[in-house]
Amino acid sequence: MKTNLCYDGCDLVGLALKYGTPLYVFSKSMIEGRCSEIREQFIKRYGGSHAYYAGKAFLTLAMCQIVEKEGLGLDVVSGGELHLALKAHFPPERIIFHGNNKTRQEIEIAVDQDVGRIAVDWEGEIDIIDKAAGLKGKRASILLRVTPEVEALTHKYIRTGHRGSKFGIPLERIPYVVKKSLSLQNLNLMGFHFHLGSQIEDYRPYIEAVDVITKVMSDLRDDFGFVTKELDIGGGFGVEGFEKTTSKPISYFVDPVMERIKARCSEFELPMPSVAIEPGRWIVSEAGITLYTIGSIKKIPGSVTYVSVDGGMSDNPRPALYDAKYYAEVANKMGRPKDKVITVVGRCCESGDILIEDLAVPSDVQPGDILAVFNTGAYNYSMASNYNMLPKPAVVFVDKGKDILVVERETYDDLLAKQKFIFNV
């Protein structure tokens, strides 16, 4: 009787044998389904609205193709992400360029390539953008990233909207920056952006931020005659973790926020701005599974049983960074009683390289078994490193029984490709 775990019509054990492990596996149809939900429940429902996929969650050439085909824009945060997007022929007018410390060179490239929006993160950035646009004979469209001083209930390392955040312009400086932006002839100030953090599971912090920003919008209209055309509320929409598999629909987050924006604009007699969102994790997290091969098993009497896999914090640093919780199954032993509790650890030389604690598995788990860790589509591949000189895993998309390799596995020679000798030997 076959007991292997299947995903989007593909046998995961077969994929592990075909491509090796560790292996990132993504359901193409699930990603497309999430993009479709955004189109139907947000873009089509609210006229003039836009959605940008937050590329930092997971970005490859193939992912750019899907996002472009599904009609979403793209949020990039570095020259590297922008370069990848342009190599994928992603329409630059549908790109928004974020980052708290963009280099002059990155800004010049963004201006030269006619990137749709540049999100200004600090006061001095407007001078750099203005100069770059002037040299090119262009007018750059910008949003000002505002720090709304809202505390989202999430891990402190992934909160970004509170006072004291390294991101955004403090509220009290916004009038000055707006006035200056309006005075620069090479800039086109479109409106504002805020981002509250990551893995936020409640819509209410977004409501709080909207109340803050719409009051700012009203004051700026009264003081400078500036009418906000665009309001980007960021992303950070949370997904269910651990053993839960169904996340809140996109409408849970956007519907109350849109109602609030409309109500506040009516209250202040402001025209309704075009509203944008930037989901990343919500689109890809649950679409991803990471496959590992189990190696050493160490039972410490009276303590714990460690089961080691051939990856770890090098391909998923989130448990070590954020105490992120994951769930897994032994993919080649599905349906068997789970009467053994283990701790899954990685192969990196760090005591903190622990992927999952207290995981129930079949009692006959053994070296060579394939472990499938769920909900790894976001911030695993994108945060992977070569710590301990470990090559980064391959990436495979699966879709209704078909599999396609979209990122090749790194080799040991890839790790040395940029190194040079300093002595003749």
The one-letter code for the residue type at 387 is: Y
Would the pLDDT of 32 be above 90? yes
What is the average pLDDT across 41-53?
Answer: 96
pLDDT of residue 413: 98
Note the pLDDT tens digit of each residue in 91-113: 999 999 999 999 999 999 999 99
Look-up: residue for tokens 């790894």? Answer: 376
Helices (DSSP H) in 225-362: which residue ranges?
250-268, 281-284, 318-322
Residues 392, 386: contact at Cβ < 8 Å? yes
Angstrom distance (rounded) from CA 17 to CA 296: 19
pLDDT of residue 150: 81
Range in 40-49, 131-140, 149-158 with the lowest mean pLDDT: 149-158
Note the pLDDT tens digit of each residue in 232-266: 999 999 888 655 556 899 999 999 999 999 999 99
Note the pLDDT tens digit of each residue in 99-152: 999 999 999 999 999 999 999 999 999 999 999 999 999 999 999 999 987 865
CATH for the 59-279 domain, from 3.30.365.10, 3.20.20.370, 3.20.20.10, 3.30.420.270: 3.20.20.10
Note the pLDDT tens digit of each residue in 261-314: 999 999 999 999 999 999 999 999 999 999 999 999 999 998 999 999 999 999
pLDDT of residue 164: 61
Would the pLDDT of 394 be above 60? yes
Task: Identify the residue with better confidence: 241 or 392.
Answer: 392
pLDDT confidence bin for 198, thresholds 50/70/90: confident
Residues 95, 143: contact at Cβ < 8 Å? no
pLDDT confidence bin for 423, thresholds 50/70/90: confident
pLDDT confidence bin for 154, thresholds 50/70/90: very low
Would the pLDDT of 165 be above 80? no
Task: Identify the residue with better confidence: 393 or 165.
Answer: 393
Angstrom distance (rounded) from CA 160 to CA 339: 42
What is the average pLDDT across 193-204?
Answer: 87
Instruction: Give the residue among 358, 297, 281 at the shortest CA–CA distance from 326.
Output: 358
Residues 304, 341: contact at Cβ < 8 Å? no
In the chain, domain spans: 6-24+286-416, 59-279
Query: Which of 10, 35, 265, 349 is an active site residue?
Result: 349
* Domain 6-24+286-416 class in CATH: mainly beta
pLDDT confidence bin for 322, thresholds 50/70/90: confident
The one-letter code for the residue type at 69 is: K
Would the pLDDT of 30 be above 80? yes
pLDDT averaged over every residue in the chain: 94
Would the pLDDT of 157 be above 50? no
pLDDT confidence bin for 163, thresholds 50/70/90: low
pLDDT of residue 226: 97
Would residue 265 show up in a list of annotated catalytic residues for this protein? Answer: no
| Fold match between domain 6-24+286-416 and domain 59-279 | no
pLDDT of residue 243: 57
